[in-house]
Amino acid sequence: MSAPLDQQTMRLIHGEEGHPFAYLGPHLQEGTGKTRSVIRALFPEAASVNVLFDNEKAQSHPMKTMTSDGLFALECAVDARKVGYRFQVVKQNGERHERRDPYAFDPVLSEYDLHLFGEGKLYKAYDKLGAQVCQHQGVQGVSFAVWAPNAKRVSVVGDFNEWDGRRHLMESRGGCGLWELFIPELQEGEVYKYEIRSQNGDAPFLKADPYATAAELRPKTASVIRTTTRYQWQDHEWMERRGKQNPLATPYSIYEVHLASWRRVPEEESRWMTYGELAETLIPYVKEMGFTHIELMPVTEHPFDGSWGYQSTGYFAPTSRFGSPEDFMAFIDACHQANLGVLMDWAPAHFPDDPHGLAWFDGTHLYDHEDPRLGYHPEWKSRIFNYGRTEVKTFLINSALMWFDRYHIDGLRVDAVASMLYLDYARKSGEWMPNRFGGNENLEAVEFLKELNVMVHQEHPGSVMIAEESTAWAGVSRPTYAGGLGFTFKWNMGWMHDTLEYFSMDPVHRKYYQNKVTFGLMYAFTENFVLVLSHDEVVHGKKALLDKMPGDNWQRMANLRALYGHMWGHPGKKMLFMGCEIGQWWEWNHDDSLQWHLLEYAPHQGLQRYVADLNRLYQSEPSLYEVDFDWQGFEWIDLHDSDHSTLTYIRYAREQKELVVCACNFTPVPRLQYRMGVPQAGMYRELLNSDAEIYGGSNMGNAGAVEAEPTPYHNQPYSLLVTLPPLSVVFFKPV
């Protein structure tokens, strides 16, 4: 009759042990007077197990069966902690395999790593946590580490161990809540999850790795072991130049892209393009169109296509929809070599409650708040991060830093910042909890955003952080030392709403709403603004931009060209969503390609050519980008001519002698012999005219140039008599 099993053995057999190293692996036997040790192993699937020592050529040592549940032991006359060995396992079905003992290896995480993690200062946690392909104690393998402080037990499971949570129990590293295990000789490309047993004793459940560098393609949800350190970057010139740039005085004309629907492959069942195919097609197109940056809607891994990436489950993994992490690196590298910056949308405001994701990760509300007034997002039916928890801040800040460090991203556009800043965002009375001062500000989120922005700008000079923030919160794009949140730029949502409302009106009514296109200058320099016409404005019944415009088809095109001309002339960086440059008629559909067939028609060709020429003009004229955030870069000529629905203004470069004049006519009535004041004498060349025939216009204009007259007007010493074509914007520059 076998001896009764002790509690530790029972916990091991039943997969409940949090300190497997205390029993499994090699252990020195004390009090024998000789060097002796015992090796213990758990192989539930094994019929027999032998030990092969590295210092012996062929001799094998059979292990003794301790229990019928697969616990084996071997007593040996050597210190097995110092002598390498392998297990030779014979399964119940007769299959054989060899493997090294993971419990013969020391921890990978140092005590200092644990200390930094506990303090929230482990800013390269992405090099420590997750699945790290590495060499440890002379053996190649994979080191796993995960934060699950309230778990009773955590295991690594995958195809390599038949998803059996008893086979690779992780070691608890104490009060910091980290669990780790080095699995020797495990190969890159293996899929895995963590099997977690919570303290309440329920059945174990599976979770994807929060720090995973790759994931399976949906609907599969396992993490994938991938290294991201082998790629040989070729963008050294770009990175060096970026580090010396001042983004505020640099042209930013951003093309916003949803990779899955920019262009599909119709010959192959409308499949997505790969990162490699996008590098060959998207990059040349964006270059041809004259944009300076591509902004990618979230490519962080996400399970549901319809979330567009904003409900992320993989904050460290580029989506597998289009290829591997190295494929994504190659795409960004190709962008940089083509002199294109890459911005990426990033969503730290909330996360989905998919069962394999962060929600209820270790059986508790680990990443979010338990109280739904703080932890549940009523607008997006998702979970809100607990920004006051050190380890959660570490997770999010590490995610941001990783995209800059490993993937050479040039900037992050932080989604839904307003929902982070306000505790009562999208909530009714009684559905939210005030802060400790009784206010509605989320003080923990504010501190998180400040720390995030300081770290990014400190570690990656020349990179940008862009806030999608739709309220009047002060100082979003002001430095933290001046009381701001520390973002580089902020989306100008007010300008966008007012401008689209104005241009959607019949021109006959516009004279009554002149303030819609002038009010933005009242606050234009309170933040570092990006003028945006984003994906949000062409979905959910809002209609495509061209379809918002009033009038017949010719007037709609002319209105849209005038809108773009005013946008590019107005202070602020620029962002345009894909498809808007070709005059897409339909709302954007994430399941289909853009309406590229429209380019068979001259009006759409003309609009596309106009946007490309606008971008080229923008980059060639420092007046249009050098002083975007100060009154020194802008001067009204006349903002009061509402009867004619015209606007005239000047943009100045850093050297104020260099300037561009922008003249807008927002009615279909040509303005002939229209006088406007200018600050300098001489000839003014017509740089760009949205009414040119090549753009689909009526080809009215100023014969290329017009001479300034010594007639003071609009508080300027000189004036021009110009023709303002119908529904047009014309740019002039003194020669």
Sign of torsion over alpha carbons 716, 719, 724, 729: negative
- Tokens for 334, please give them: 């190709």
d(CA 541, CA 547): 11
At 214, the amino acid letter reads A
549 CA to centre of own chain: 32
Query: Omega into 210 within 30° of 0, i.e. cis?
Result: no
CA 518 vs CA 240, 348, 571, 638: distances in Å:
39, 34, 12, 10
d(CA 556, CA 552): 6
Helices and strands in the chain: count of H runs, count of E runs: 15, 36
DSSP helix/strand/coil, 501 = helix
Residues in the chain: 735
The residue to which tokens 């006051």 are assigned: 388
Residue 13 and residue 42 in contact, taking contact as beta carbons nearer than 8 Å: yes
**Choice among 16, 415, 537, 621 that is catalytic:** 415
Residue 411 and residue 491 in contact, taking contact as beta carbons nearer than 8 Å: no
- Tokens for 222, please give them: 């396992």
d(CA 575, CA 577): 7
d(CA 651, CA 656): 9
DSSP helix/strand/coil, 518 = helix
**288 has catalytic annotation:** no
d(CA 179, CA 200): 18
**Choice among 16, 209, 368, 468 that is catalytic:** 468
**468 has catalytic annotation:** yes
Residue 399 and residue 346 in contact, taking contact as beta carbons nearer than 8 Å: yes
d(CA 286, CA 263): 13
Non-local (6+) Cβ contacts of 356 within 8 A are 193, 206, 207, 208, 221, 303, 313
Residue 170 and residue 177 in contact, taking contact as beta carbons nearer than 8 Å: no
Residues assigned a catalytic role: 415, 468
